Amino acid sequence: MSEDRWKTLEVWKLADGFAFNIYSAARKFPKDEIFGLTSQLRRSALSVPTNIVEGYSRKGDKELAHFVSISLGSLAETKYLLEFAFRQEYISEQQFDQLKAQGDILGKKLWRFYEKIR
């Protein structure tokens, strides 16, 4: 069995794309935020796909559900931090709207995945 079987999951692909886009957006944040908002936003966004990977690499749906639950929490954190960055005017309204929409789609699919496996 392939060790990277999680790469076939649609929800992981969405989470990976979302994290990638968050990373890209955070590149333009002020340099004085590198250890603050930039770091926190990037870590929370990257936690979504990495927890899917970790859970999917474990044995059994109970453990997978636990890690997907953590992904859901990280997604909520990311969405808040994204809104905070927008209020600080670190990202444009258009960029915020696109990332928010992407996060909302991911959240719905991630929740359905969680309900299916728990």
pLDDT at 6: 86
For residue range 27-37, list pLDDT tens digits in order.
999 999 999 99
pLDDT at 50: 97
- 38-65 burial, b at 16+ Cβ within 10 Å, e below that, comes to bebbbebbbbbbbbbbbbbeeeeeeebb
Sequence-distant (≥ 6) Cβ neighbours of residue 93 within 8 angstroms: 86
Query: How many whole angstroms separate alpha carbon 75 and alpha carbon 49?
Result: 10
pLDDT at 1: 41
Does 33-117 carry CATH code 1.20.1440.60? yes
Residue scoring higher pLDDT (6 or 34): 34
Domain segments of the chain as ranges = 33-117
For residue range 10-19, list pLDDT tens digits in order.
999 999 999 9
Confidence of residue 3 (pLDDT cuts 50, 70, 90): low
Query: How many whole angstroms separate alpha carbon 71 and alpha carbon 50?
Result: 8
